[in-house]
């Protein structure tokens, strides 16, 4: 199967496996694992932050960040379809005790006006303290869309003026940076804390980074222990992270070009895709416009040997390009997908 379900499908390359095999290791909990320490330093510098901590997953990184920034009963402001709102099992409430105020965005982005309205204290509507703003770049549910820097700067500036802490769910931050041709720190350095996932486009088997100011990351270490995420010889996986930072960042542009080729080919074949919305490695396909249900469409595609996946939108499926998808796969999927869907549904 040509697996376009998610960029989490990547398996470690031979080069990454060699880096894993050769990794120097120690006790990570005691901060004595040299490979973990090296990755943390590299990641902090890349993200324009003082310090970083290595964690098993991006979900844990987001959840720890929320605990750092809010007290139980405080409000988290985030875009309505953000990962922290819809895909983390209510962790913002369960772990940090935060009330989520979900703001409807466009392409995953919210405006200064929306933020100010949401954070404004009002004795009539809400007396909870708005404590933290979490943004997502690239934004998963909108199809891997990026924040233009000027819009980001305006919203972060407004958040600071409102006294909010700011967190970036940058699980796919490096896709955003590569797509826009800007340094990751130019995006990530503006936030109080930043999550970066290593197991998506970067191709590691697991792992994530939470970066921020030195004092925040010290507090994050305590939370890491509390979450059961403090590990031992974790250098085995951290070495994969450092390898990925050296070898798998610039190549994200290949994933983006392949997503664009798929979108163009499917659009040319009459499928309902909007190539203008393809900014990184996702292509969204509105199978409802073909008169097909999502499960039916995914089933037809699977029979044809192509894996796509569901999205939060009830009629939309997505394809995601990644390290394990080459040009041949894209060429084949470019014709297999329209063939598989042709003649089915109402259209």
Ligand X SMILES: Cc1ncc(COP(=O)(O)O)c(C=O)c1O
Could you give the C-alpha distances from 52 to 40, 48, 58, 176, 216, in angstroms and in order?
Answer: 5, 10, 13, 20, 9
Q: Which residues neighbour 109 within 8 Å (Cβ) at sequence distance 6 or greater? A: 79, 139, 145, 147, 151, 155
To the nearest whole angstrom, how small is the minimum distance from the Cβ of residue 54 to ligand X?
13
DSSP result, 13-45: -HHHHHHHHT-----TTTT--HHHHHHHHHHHH
Q: Which residues neighbour 346 within 8 Å (Cβ) at sequence distance 6 or greater? A: 290, 291
Instruction: Decide if 301 contacts 340 (C-beta within 8 A).
Output: yes
Options 136, 192, 255, 279; binder of ligand X; rule CB under 6 A: 136
Provide the residue count of the chain. 347
Segment 140-159, which members bind ligand X (CB under 6 A)?
A: 140
To the nearest whole angstrom, how small is the minimum distance from the Cβ of residue 331 to ligand X?
27
Q: Which stretch binds ligand X (CB under 6 A): 57-65, 154-162, 179-187, 210-218?
A: 57-65
To the nearest whole angstrom, how small is the minimum distance from the Cβ of residue 322 to ligand X?
12
- The reply on whether position 57 binds ligand X by CB under 6 A is yes
- The reply on whether position 10 binds ligand X by CB under 6 A is no
Q: Which stretch binds ligand X (CB under 6 A): 56-64, 104-112, 127-135, 265-273?
A: 56-64
To the nearest whole angstrom, how small is the minimum distance from the Cβ of residue 90 to ligand X?
14
Q: Which two tokens stand for residue 255?
A: 């994933």
Q: Which stretch binds ligand X (CB under 6 A): 16-24, 58-66, 68-76, 112-120?
A: 58-66
C-alpha 36: how far from chain center: 21
Q: Which stretch binds ligand X (CB under 6 A): 32-40, 51-59, 66-74, 230-238?
A: 51-59
To the nearest whole angstrom, how small is the minimum distance from the Cβ of residue 8 to ligand X?
6
- The reply on whether position 193 binds ligand X by CB under 6 A is no
Whole-angstrom distance, CA of residue 209 vs CA of residue 41: 11
Helix/strand/coil (H/E/C) assignment for every residue in 224-266: HHHCCCCCCCCHHHHHHHHHHHHHCCCCHHHHHHHHHHHHHHH
Options 5, 67, 69, 83; binder of ligand X; rule CB under 6 A: 83
Q: Which stretch binds ligand X (CB under 6 A): 52-60, 185-193, 219-227, 311-319?
A: 52-60
Which residues make beta-bridge pairs with 217?
none
Q: Is 90 helix (H, G, I), strand (E, B) or coil?
A: coil
Q: Which residues neighbour 84 within 8 Å (Cβ) at sequence distance 6 or greater? A: 62, 66, 76, 78, 91, 92, 134, 136, 169
User: For ligand X, which is the closer residue by CB, 83 or 248?
Assistant: 83
Q: Which stretch binds ligand X (CB under 6 A): 53-61, 110-118, 142-150, 270-278?
A: 53-61
Instruction: Decide if 90 contacts 79 (C-beta within 8 A).
Output: no
User: For ligand X, which is the closer residue by CB, 171 or 308?
Assistant: 171
- The reply on whether position 197 binds ligand X by CB under 6 A is yes
User: For ligand X, which is the closer residue by CB, 199 or 242?
Assistant: 199
- The reply on whether position 258 binds ligand X by CB under 6 A is no
- The reply on whether position 171 binds ligand X by CB under 6 A is yes
- The binding site for ligand X (CB under 6 A) comprises 57-59, 62, 83, 136, 140, 169, 171, 197, 199, 208
């Amino acid at each position: 199967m040509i697996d376009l379900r998610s960029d989490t499908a990547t398996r470690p390359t031979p080069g990454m496996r060699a880096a894993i095999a050769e990794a120097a290791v120690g006790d990570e909990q005691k901060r004595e694992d040299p490979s973990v320490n090296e990755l943390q330093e590299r990641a902090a510098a890349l993200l324009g932050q003082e310090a970083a901590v290595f964690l098993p997953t991006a979900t844990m990184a987001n959840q720890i960040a929320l605990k750092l920034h809010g007290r139980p009963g405080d409000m988290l402001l985030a875009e309505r379809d953000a990962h922290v709102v819809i895909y983390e099992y209510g962790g913002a409430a369960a772990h940090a005790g935060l009330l989520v105020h979900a703001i409807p965005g466009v392409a995953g982005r919210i405006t200064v006006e929306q933020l100010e309205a949401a954070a404004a204290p009002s004795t009539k509507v809400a007396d909870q303290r708005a404590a933290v703003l979490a943004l997502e770049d690239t934004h998963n549910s909108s199809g891997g869309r990026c924040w233009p820097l000027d819009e980001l700067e305006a919203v972060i500036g407004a958040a600071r003026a409102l006294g909010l802490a700011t967190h970036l769910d940058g699980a796919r931050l490096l896709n955003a940076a590569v797509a826009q041709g800007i340094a990751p720190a130019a995006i990530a350095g503006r936030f109080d804390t930043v999550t970066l996932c290593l197991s998506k486009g970067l191709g590691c088997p697991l792992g994530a980074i939470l970066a921020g100011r030195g004092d925040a990351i010290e507090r994050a270490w305590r939370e890491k222990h509390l979450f059961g995420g403090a590990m031992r010889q974790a250098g085995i996986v951290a070495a994969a992270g450092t390898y990925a930072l050296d070898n798998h960042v610039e190549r994200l542009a290949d994933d983006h070009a392949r997503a664009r080729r798929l979108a163009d080919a499917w659009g040319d074949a009459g499928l309902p895709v909007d190539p203008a919305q393809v900014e990184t490695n996702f292509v969204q396909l509105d199978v409802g416009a073909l008169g097909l249900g999502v499960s039916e469409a995914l089933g037809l595609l699977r029979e044809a040997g192509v894996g796509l996946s569901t999205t939060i939108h009830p009629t939309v499926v997505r394809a995601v390009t990644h390290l394990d998808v080459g040009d041949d796969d894209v060429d084949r999927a470019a014709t297999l997908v329209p063939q598989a869907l042709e003649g089915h549904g109402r259209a």
